[in-house]
Copies of this chain bind each other. A is one copy, B any other.
Amino acid sequence: MPAITRVEVKDIRFPTSRSLDGSDAMNPAPDYSATYVILHTDAPAGLAGHGLTFTIGRGNEICVTAVRSLSGMVEGRSLASITENMGAFWRQMTSGDSQLRWLGPEKGVIHLATAAIVNAIWDLWAKVEDKPLWKLLADMPPDELVRCLDFRFVSDVLTPEEALAMLRRQAGGKAIRECELIEFGYPAYTTSAGWLGYSEEKIRRLAREGLAEGWTHFKQKVGGDLQDDIRRARILREEIGEQAVLMMDANQVWDLDEAIFNMRQLAQFSPMWIEEPTSPDDILGHAEIRRRLNGIGVATGEHCHNRVMFKQLLQAGAIDYCQVDVARLGGFNEAILVLLLAAKFGVPVCPHGGGVGLCEYIQHLSLFDYIAVSGSLEGRVLEYVDHLHEHFADPVRVERGRYRVPTAPGSSIAMHAASLTEHLFPDGPAWQFSTAPRTP
């Protein structure tokens, strides 16, 4: 196995705020960005592991600094020394340097940076094994998978032994489920028609195009002016009909009572879920909202910062849908632990895909979830956002509202070299001349 010779990190930003793609009530003008990590190795032919964490523009430089601060933990190490006990490696990344741990622990910038490096390790490992990441994970024996996980602070709810038993219970059906996914793909939903800031004409056109393309699940941003939320929900329902599924996403803008009041007004459009109705830290608040809305599902997770928070969201009965983010958590290791926690509580995982590269990542997680962990597609839909896929060497392929299974080795996260050069901040061509980003 190769050794990691050097960690390279790039500040990559796309000027998406110019088109309002990705606009929502909390984030009116994001510039989708990546703290992009390349693990160079001593292997021939330029073998490298790629990984990223997602941000929305300003502040990406802070994550870049944090990756540099963490790089010493992997530079000079052989891949084998990491993969032989991936759980111990992960604990070392998050707790091994207590001085760096102080900055979290396991949250915010330091955890985002951790994710970029950890996921680059997974990309490298999958390439060495010549498999797409989902297949590397799905083929892994249960005991080896469990060894990839750190149960610290969740052992009161899930022990390694219990995780092992859960994985073994699903082992028998893995081959069939893998065939099924290769044949039919994984069900998805689209946010393309639902962003704030789109005109009625654009909403109608995108909704019709979505239906024509075979989409059955549509997500709408809410949390702006309530009457405008109602107006756009009515437009969407008119276009997609009563059979299609509508979800709503408030991006954290409401306090608790506002969330309940507003969603009672929006209940007439039968949303399957309300996503991020309030602060992502408010576990008890989500539980209260769920109790009082009684019938509208509650979803959250893209800003849920670690397994301890997900554990409590599940314990408190706060969520109907678990929207894990593999770059907000400390990478795939922690996301897999959350899959197991969610499976234990019977809560479906619908990962967060709204960001550059996140769709590329989460297809691997959800394919693995179905094959090896939950064994179920019920209530599962994978987010799909139709932005920026052209920058990836192995972009997601979505057909008739379903993700096709990726086949290239690795985690699908590597961007084209030309895209990296073009969007390097602040010196790349995309950021020259009169192309300053919007300020908030």
Complex formed: what's the CA distance from A204 to B247 in Å? 64
Complex formed: what's the CA distance from A227 to B306 in Å? 32
Nearest B residue to A284 by beta-carbon distance?
B312
Q: Quick one: which of A186-204 are within 8 Å of B by CB? A: none
Q: Quick one: which of A13-60 are within 8 Å of B by CB? A: 26-31, 55-59
A99 at the interface (CB under 8 A from B): yes
Q: Quick one: which of A88-108 are within 8 Å of B by CB? A: 95-108
Tell me whether A112 and B103 are in contact (CB under 8 A).
yes
Q: Take A61-B65, A111-B108 as given contacts and tell me if A279 and B153 are in contact as well, using a CB distance cutoff of 8 Å.
A: yes
Give chain B nearest CB distance to A22 CB in angstroms: 11
Tell me whether A255 and B156 are in contact (CB under 8 A).
yes
Complex formed: what's the CA distance from A210 to B28 in Å? 56
A282: B residues at CB distance < 8 A: 153, 308, 311-312
A388 at the interface (CB under 8 A from B): no
Q: Quick one: which of A216-260 are within 8 Å of B by CB? A: 252, 255-257
Query: Residue A58 contacts which of B69, B95, B252 (CB distance < 8 angstroms)?
Result: B69
Chain A contact residue count (CB 8 A cutoff)? 62
Q: Take A66-B62, A107-B107 as given contacts and tell me if A102 and B281 are in contact as well, using a CB distance cutoff of 8 Å.
A: no
Complex formed: what's the CA distance from A280 to B104 in Å? 10
Nearest B residue to A328 by beta-carbon distance?
B102
Tell me whether A281 and B309 are in contact (CB under 8 A).
yes
Query: Residue A98 contacts which of B69, B155, B440 (CB distance < 8 angstroms)?
Result: B440
A402 at the interface (CB under 8 A from B): no
Give chain B nearest CB distance to A130 CB in angstroms: 35
A145 at the interface (CB under 8 A from B): no
Tell me whether A315 and B69 are in contact (CB under 8 A).
no
A65: B residues at CB distance < 8 A: 61-62, 65
A356 at the interface (CB under 8 A from B): no
Tell me whether B56 and A62 are in contact (CB under 8 A).
no
A311: B residues at CB distance < 8 A: 282
Tell me whether A281 and B306 are in contact (CB under 8 A).
yes
Q: Take A69-B62, A109-B110, A440-B96 as given contacts and tell me if A56 and B308 are in contact as well, using a CB distance cutoff of 8 Å.
A: no
Tell me whether A315 and B284 are in contact (CB under 8 A).
yes
A385 at the interface (CB under 8 A from B): no
A63: B residues at CB distance < 8 A: 103
Nearest B residue to A255 by beta-carbon distance?
B155
Complex formed: what's the CA distance from A315 to B285 in Å? 10
Tell me whether A97 and B58 are in contact (CB under 8 A).
yes
A315: B residues at CB distance < 8 A: 284
A305 at the interface (CB under 8 A from B): yes
Tell me whether A283 and B285 are in contact (CB under 8 A).
no
A374 at the interface (CB under 8 A from B): no
A55: B residues at CB distance < 8 A: 99, 102-103
A440: B residues at CB distance < 8 A: 96-99
Tell me whether B109 and A66 are in contact (CB under 8 A).
yes
A109: B residues at CB distance < 8 A: 62, 66, 103, 108-110
Tell me whether B56 and A102 are in contact (CB under 8 A).
yes
Give chain B nearest CB distance to A129 CB in angstroms: 31
Mark A272-316 against chain B: 1 for CB-CB distance below 8 A, else 0. 000000111111110010000000000000010110110110011
Tell me whether A99 and B252 are in contact (CB under 8 A).
no
Q: Take A59-B100, A99-B30 as given contacts and tell me if A280 and B105 are in contact as well, using a CB distance cutoff of 8 Å.
A: yes
Tell me whether B103 and A284 are in contact (CB under 8 A).
no
Tell me whether A285 and B59 are in contact (CB under 8 A).
no
Tell me whether A99 and B31 are in contact (CB under 8 A).
yes
A257: B residues at CB distance < 8 A: 155-156
19 contacts between A and B (CB under 8 A): A26-B98, A55-B99, A62-B62, A63-B103, A65-B65, A66-B109, A96-B440, A97-B440, A105-B252, A105-B279, A105-B303, A107-B281, A108-B111, A153-B285, A281-B312, A283-B284, A283-B312, A284-B312, A284-B316
**Extra inter-chain contacts (11) besides given A55-B103, A282-B312, CB under 8 Å:** A29-B98, A30-B102, A59-B99, A59-B100, A59-B102, A65-B65, A66-B109, A105-B303, A155-B257, A281-B305, A284-B315
